[in-house]
Chains A and B, each alone.
Chain A
Amino acid sequence: MPGDVPPPESEVVAIGREIAAALPSPARHPGKAIDARAMDFTSRDAELRAALFRFVDVVPACRSVDDLAAHLTGFLGEVDAQTPPIKAAMRMGDSRAGRAALGTAAAAGVKHMARRFIVADSPAGARGTLQRLWRDGTAASVDLLGEATITSAEADGYAARCAEALDALTEIYRGSPPRPLLERDGAGPLPRANLSVKVSALTPLLRPDAPALGQEDAAPRLRALLRTARELDAHLHVDMESFDSREAITDLVLDLLAEDEFRDGPSAGMVLQAYLRDGGELLDRVLAFSAEHERASPLTIRLVKGAYWDHELVEARQHGWEPPVWEHKAESDRNFEALTLRLLAARPAVRVAIASHNLRSVAHAIAAADADVEFQVLRGLGDDLGHALAHLGHRVRVYCPVGDLVAGMAYLVRRLLENTSNESFLAEQARGAALDDLLAAP
């Protein structure tokens, strides 16, 4: 396919160096450096790491500081290497006063961490952050955190919160100053308000063995949201989740967007996961769809590697299946680059958003794209990269989770795991890997 030609390596490396030079130095952000060190420390001892993750995970279900301390010492008691700090915590667990102090400190620690990843407890509460980002030249996509949806009432509740969020976002951005880079690309105008939604929250009926059930049940709720987005001129982005739900999510989005009423809007998008072995086939399907259904604003494809790698591998192993994901990190990275090239070549039939915190993956996309490509980062993980890219004149969108701590804990744990997983780019970067190694072709 023309346009699929990989960019010269030298250019990728040069761009990577340029971005790296624009990253803020740790010296100027002492707080972040401490966070980074704390995560690095815990990631060395796998058992301690597991104990802390289990603790973070259970925090919302604890009923008192005493209960918090009991859980913390319960988890720490299972760590083999009882280092002095662990022993000290265990001793505190022996007295009521000690537990009160330990529980209070632990709760504060978790809140502190959560605030790094979760912007606010409601879209309205995120006003300040979103406006500041916008003024600094960065767009956002808001994601509403919540409990798992297992009832219709919960699905309705999530849909209602999404509709309210679309309203709130529209209102928040109404008086914001113009930012031409964020408001128009080669394919036309870009909405300011941008909401990411999860199909698993829109229906309690996502069943891997019956995708039609979830699709049918979610369709009315997503259709209503598409209408609201169209009325408000907002962008609606459907996240991709685990492979168990991929067929339902893909069919749902493409079937709805094919409906006549949505031909003229709203702007909408979906996600392509490069860690899937058959990611390319999904792209074939999406491109065929785009060719067949002309839309006023082209479908935005967010390219990611994929957030459910461990889950996919464990599930496949437990069932004796061939994993749907690549098993070597470099394969995901290479596929990401291959899909980047194909997506870029498919413009303007689709819009492209590159969502990665990997300097190499991002530099590769920049080297291959002339312009008209968006970069997306996660709040709390990709802030520095986002700043650097915005500073270099690229369009950047920050994915901003919003929601209360209780509901957000699963999200927090996932991000922490991602941040400390051995093969993650961010972990390697934090460990001080050489820039040349970080930028090498996968």
Chain B
Amino acid sequence: MTALPAFRNEPLLELRRAPERARLDDALRALDTRLPLRVPIWIGDERRDGDALRSTDPGTPDRVVATAPIATADDAHAAVAAAQAAFPAWAATPAADRAATLVRGAAWMRERRAELAALCVRECAKPWAEADADVAEAIDFLEYYARGALVLADAPPGLVQVPGERNTLRYAPRGVCAVIAPWNFPLAIPAGMTAAALATGNSVVLKPAEQAPGCGRMVVEALRAGGVPPAALALLPGEGETGAALAAHPGVATIAFTGSGAVGLELLRTAAAKPPQAGVLTRVVAEMGGKNCVLVDADADLDDAVPAIVHSAFAYAGQKCSAAARVLVHEAVADALLERLAGAVAVLPVGQAEAHGTVTGPVVEEAAQARVARYAQLASDTGTIAARRDPPTSPGWFAGPTVATDLPSESPVLSEEIFGPLLAVERVCDLDEACDRVDALPFALTGGLFARNPRTIAQVASRSPVGNLYVNRGITGAMVGRQPFGGNRLSGTGTKAGGPDYLLQFVEPRVMTENTMRHGLVVG
């Protein structure tokens, strides 16, 4: 295989051009005629359909998008056993060949850009721009990790050498990787975790989110179409119990997880509790929640800050791990910011994901709607509602975008992850106070800062614990290779998806030292 061209992010669709938008509308219409999609338990070449699990359109809940069986502990066992059997051959496949399969998988997705975006719109109510970005990011992960794995294989770090010995380090795959994926980036995140494991020579069992099995199937199809041996990549649709059974399996060497903090902590415990007979210390790569704060200094340009905050808090109904949940604003501009924020929320396009221009669609499911409503009620009972949009009167799981302020400092609205379109605004007397409040949080995923004095920017950056700090821009939309993404503290294990060192989580370093002295001569 010839060397791969340098990585370049997959261009987003230019949705400001009418023909591009029309192409997406066509793809959605075409998809609708094919629903529901069948998602099998897919182990090697064996597939078993079922309809115990149904994903529905959050905007029109009686539309079934995909049906799948619910994989049992036995299915998980079978999938891991198959992946274990496939592992040696896949691990022995030259890194360049593995990379080539990923690149072909990316090409498969690239040919289906519109169709895949349409599926994100339907299954997870992602507005078009976000759905398209999801597809592009999935492609990016495949392309990026293909290249990264080649670097690990071909150019591992050098070691100190002295005469008479040769020291070499290489990275070997760890074994079977269980990928447990979320629904909020239903293509990109499973594609990323799966591709990272495969590129480095691990075999994978993918458990997609119960809300997004259809997207999960597409990830597996893409990679298999690219040439990943069926036995090296299994699809295991199901609910929480399926994931738990998979994670607890002694044959699983690595768990790659993105999702809620509660499940992440449970997985860490599961991994630690495996019996010594399993012969493995299961590694957990976990990306969990956040309570992301945007700091606004007195010298911020509100013309920029307000739209960026609105987008960060309310795009995709606030259901991104990186979304803004709190604004800490300097008291000198707090009134102006609140007034403009309220005005901006009042005209925010709220509606069905498929309508071009929608920023806030429905939340993913009924339980999410109830959760957001609970926090909104709490905010209104204990604070002031600065802005609130009534959700559209349609059967979808809509939650009206809300801005709350004057909340007591111990309010759960300020500390718990809500994962919905609810933003809290607090006044601070200076940025030091804002940094103190950020520092008091158990989470440290993303953060934002609007300020223009370079000294202030440097100070905040040096104090900020977050994994991704964004200055004078929105705090969502990390790009593969440009903004390696991941959080610290309770937000994650500190790994950076889409970054240069992510793949190291999926390998174990092995060092060989060879004596090259023989009869007093250096022979090697």
On whether the beta carbons of A71 and B299 are closer than 8 Å, the reply is yes
Given contacts A78-B454, A151-B340, whether A209 and B128 have CB atoms under 8 Å apart is yes
Query: Are the C-beta atoms of A151 and B346 separated by less than 8 Å?
Result: yes
In the complex, which residues of chain A have a beta carbon less than 8 angstroms from the beta carbon of B349? Answer: 205, 207, 210, 213
Across the interface, name the chain A residue whose C-beta is closest to B344.
A150
Contact status B347-A208, CB under 8 Å: no
A67 at the interface (CB under 8 A from B): yes
Contact with A along B274-307 (1 / 0, CB 8 A): 0000000000000000000000001111110011
A153 x B343 contact (CB < 8 A): yes
Decide: B452 and A207 in contact? CB cutoff 8 A. no
Also in contact, A151 and B344, with CB within 8 A (given A319-B12, A319-B14)? yes
Contact flag A150-B18 (CB < 8 Å), given A61-B298, A61-B301, A319-B11: no
Residue pairs across A and B with CB atoms within 8 Å: the count is 95
Q: With an 8 A cutoff between CB atoms, is B8 at the interface?
A: yes
- Quote the shortest CB–CB distance from B153 to chain A (angstroms): 28
Instruction: State whether B455 touches A74 (Cβ < 8 A).
Output: yes
Give, as a whole number of angstroms, the nearest-CB distance from A4 to chain B.
28
Query: Do A247 and B344 touch across chains, with their CB atoms under 8 A apart?
Result: no
Whether B306 lies near A150 (C-beta < 8 A) is: yes
- A150 to B307: give the CA distance in the assembly, Å: 7
- Choice from A74, A247, A320, A410 contacting B453 with Cβ under 8 Å: A74
Chain B residues numbered 299-339 whose CB sits less than 8 Å from any CB in chain A: 299-303, 306-307, 332
With an 8 Å Cβ cutoff, the count of chain B residues facing the other chain is 36
Bound Cα distance A71, B344 (Å) = 29
Chain A, interface size category, equals 35 or more
0/1 interface trace, chain A 136-155, chain B, CB 8 Å (1 if under): 00000000000110111110
Scan A47-83; emit 1 where CB is below 8 A from any B CB, else 0. Answer: 0000000100110011100010011001101100000
Indicate with 1 or 0, residue by residue over A301-323, a CB within 8 angstroms of chain B CB atoms. 00000000000000000011100
In the bound assembly, the distance between CA atoms of A151 and B15 in angstroms comes to 24
Q: Is A244 close to B, CB under 8 A? A: yes
B455 lies within 8 A of A209 (CB): no
Tell whether, in the assembled complex, residue B303 and residue A243 are in contact, meaning their CB atoms are under 8 Å apart: no
Q: Is B389 at the interface (CB under 8 A from chain A)?
A: no
* B475 → chain A closest CB, angstroms: 17
Q: Does B110 contact A (CB under 8 A)?
A: no
Interchain CA distance A71-B15 in the complex, whole Å? 38
A294 → chain B closest CB, angstroms: 28
Beta-carbon nearest neighbor of B305 in chain A: A150
Evaluate contact between B343 and A150: CB separation under 8 angstroms.
yes
CB of B21 within 8 Å of the partner chain: yes
Asked whether, in the complex, the Cβ of A244 is within 8 Å of the Cβ of B16, the reply is yes
Identify which of residues 227-252 in chain A touch chain B, using a CB-to-CB cut-off of 8 Å: 243-244, 247
- A410 cross-chain contacts in B, Cβ below 8 A: 303
The answer to the question of B356 belonging to the interface, with a C-beta cut-off of 8 Å to chain A, is yes
State in angstroms the CA–CA spacing of A148 and B343 once bound together.
Answer: 13
Say yes or no: A209 contacts B129, CB within 8 Å.
yes
Among A58, A67, A243, max chain B CB count under 10 A is at A58
For residue A204, CB closer than 8 A to chain B, the reply is yes
A231 to chain B, nearest CB (A): 29
B415 at the interface (CB under 8 A from A): no
Indicate if the CB atoms of A320 and B12 lie closer than 8 Å.
yes
What residues on A are CB-neighbors of B343 within 8 Å?
Answer: 150-154, 204
- Tell me, rounded to whole Å, the shortest Cβ–Cβ distance linking A237 to chain B: 23
The residue on B at minimum CB distance from A244 is B16
Q: Which residues of A contact B355 (CB under 8 A)?
A: 210
Give the shortest distance, in Å, between B122 (CB) and chain A (any CB): 18
Q: In the complex, which residue of chain B has the Cβ closest to the Cβ of A155?
A: B347
Question: A209: which B residues are within 8 A, CB to CB?
Answer: 15-16, 21, 128-129, 356-357
Interface: B10 (CB within 8 A) = yes
CB distance from B128 to the nearest CB of A (A): 7
Looking at the complex, which one of B10, B14, B298 makes contact with A63 (CB distance below 8 Å)? Answer: B298
- Contact residues of A between 153 and 175, Cβ < 8 Å to B: 153-154
Query: B9 near A: Cβ within 8 Å?
Result: yes
A213 touches B357 (CB 8 A): yes
Can you add 16 more A-B contacts, CB < 8 Å, to A74-B456, A211-B16?
Answer: A54-B452, A57-B452, A61-B298, A61-B301, A71-B452, A147-B302, A151-B340, A151-B346, A154-B343, A205-B349, A211-B18, A212-B356, A212-B357, A244-B16, A320-B10, A320-B12
Q: Could you give 15 example pairs across A and B, Cβ below 8 Å?
A: A57-B301, A58-B301, A61-B452, A62-B299, A71-B452, A71-B453, A74-B455, A151-B340, A151-B344, A151-B347, A152-B343, A207-B357, A209-B129, A209-B356, A410-B303
B interface residues (Cβ-Cβ under 8 A, vs A) = 8-12, 14-16, 18, 21, 128-129, 298-303, 306-307, 332, 340, 342-344, 346-347, 349, 355-357, 452-456
